[in-house]
Structure 1
Amino acid sequence: MGHREDLLEGAKRCLLEKGFARTTARDIVKESGTNLASIGYHYGSKDALLAQAYVSLVEGMGDAFEGDGSVVRDTEPGSVERFQGVWANIIGTMREPGSLWRLSMEVLVMGDRMPEVRDHLARAQREAGRGLVPSLMGGREEDVSDETADTVGLFYVTLMTGLIAQWTFDPKSAPEAEQLAEGLRRVVEAVNRS
């Protein structure tokens, strides 16, 4: 690995251990075995590096959303059963000690104080939605149109953001996948009646 990759991996470890606000450039250098000048050279700033590390961590969670793959194999794309199964897997990742999603809340709250990070993560949000669509609706990520990413994908990202907030704030009262699926059923029934 070169300095760029070492920095990224070191930044990921720092984020998971210390969070965004408490991680310093020196922490990253110590963790990565590189030097301070490497951060500026490869990423422009410590915050830009941390934003990239955060996005990389989130992208690495995609496989966990499908669990062992049985939800995707055994349920109809776009069905309430698939919806419930995928969200059960996502919620499972929120239960894990040291969950990445707690870091997500820190990043969301800090966004207005770090416009460079906010802008980077805003661009990544569309791609996050693009990545969620195949898990829930079937198909391949590369085939998800921009229009679908900007509607269905962002709907799922909004649901995910709300879940992260609820699971971070009060895991005891946060919804389970069964509740989300029942809520979806009721919304669809109401829409079909009108």
Structure 2
Amino acid sequence: MGNRDKLLEGALQCLYEKGFAHTTARDIATAAGVSLAAIGYHFGTTEALLNAALIRAMENWGEELDLALNDERDAALPPAERFVAVWTRVIDSVTANRPLWTTQFELVTQIGHHPERALQWNEAQDEAQFGLAELFHGIDADEEPELARIVGGLYQALLTGVVVQHIVSPGVAMSGRDLITALREVARRLGGEGSDLQKSV
């Protein structure tokens, strides 16, 4: 492994262990086992190295999320059981890969200061929404783009909230069963108010 790859791996390790705000150039060089000067030689600045590491972290997170969301065995399950199975895997992933998931939320706090990261994040979010709509309800984004956007957006919001719960307060966080029970109850209550809802829209 060359020094450039060592620096990327060292920066990624620091991001997972220390977080973005507390990672220094010296931390990265020490973790990578190379000199401080190597950062300037290969990346120009520490910020450029951290940007590259954050992109790598986002890619790693995307791969982990894809594994959690997709399992060929789900196809044989009824929709409700598939829902629970997917969410159970997501929650297990958060538990097993806590630094990876935590880093994504720190990345979100940095996006406003870096337009290039915002563009990458927005593209990833669009793909995620369409993918979630397809996964849970078979909604084709090419045929029904707006429906895929809003249904996928709901699942994306659920995903964000559930992950935060399991990072911050795992003892009281929602399980897959809790989620489907709550959604069914919300749907039941909204269904009972259908006429009122339609009048107000």
Instruction: Classify the TM-score, shorter chain.
Output: 0.7 to 0.9
Question: What corresponds to 1:82 in structure 2?
Answer: 82
SS at match of 1:21: coil
The residue aligned with 1:177 is: 176
The alignment of Structure 1 onto Structure 2 pairs a total of residues equal to 187
Asked which structure has the greater CA Rg, the reply is: 2
Counterpart CA distance in 1 for 2:4 and 2:129 is 27
Say if 1:152 and 1:12 are closer, same or farther in 2 by CA, change over 3 A.
farther
Within the candidate set 51, 56, 77, 1:53 is matched to 56
Shift of 1:11: 3.5
Q: Distance in 1 between matches of 2:174 and 2:131?
A: 22
Structure-2 change in CA distance of 1:44 and 1:165 (3 Å): closer
Q: Does residue 1:39 correspond to 2:43, yes or no?
A: yes
Structure 1 residue 170 displacement after superposition: 0.9
Matches for 1:128-139 after TM superposition, within 5 Å: 128-138=128-138
Amino acid at match of 2:42: S
2: CA distance between counterparts of 1:74 and 1:153? 22
Distance in 2 between residues matched to 1:128 and 1:4, nearest whole Å: 30
**What SS is found at the alignment partner of 1:45?**
helix
Which position in structure 2 is the counterpart of 1:106? Answer: 106
Q: Residue by residue, what CA displacement relative to the aligned partner does 1:70-93 show, whole Å, maximum 9, x if unpaired?
A: 2x23224xx222222111110111
Quick one: distance in 2 between partners of 1:87 and 1:10?
31
Give percent identity, aligned residues only. Answer: 31
Q: Shift of the alpha carbon at 1:27?
A: 4.1
Structure 1: gaps spanning 5 or more residues: none
Q: Does the CA contact (< 8 Å) of 1:93 and 1:99 recur in 2?
A: no
Residue identity in the other structure for 1:55: M
Q: Distance in 1 between matches of 2:128 and 2:7?
A: 23
Q: Which moved more, 1:56-65 or 1:28-37?
A: 28-37
**Partner amino acid for 2:54?**
A
Classify the secondary structure of the residue corresponding to 1:60.
helix
For CA contacts below 8 A with separation 6 or more, give which structure has more relative contact order: 1
Change (3 A) 1:173 1:18: same
CA RMSD of aligned residues (A): 3.5
Normalized against structure 1, the TM-score is what?
0.73
Q: Quote how far apart the aligned CAs of 1:175 are.
A: 0.6
Task: Specify the SS of the correspondent of 2:172.
Answer: coil
Quote the offset at 1:164 in angstroms: 1.8
The answer for the alignment partner of 1:73 in structure 2 is 75
Aligned to 1:160: 159
Shift, 1:23, TM fit:
2.5
Shift, 1:13, TM fit: 2.8
Larger mean CA deviation between 167-176 and 146-155 belongs to 146-155
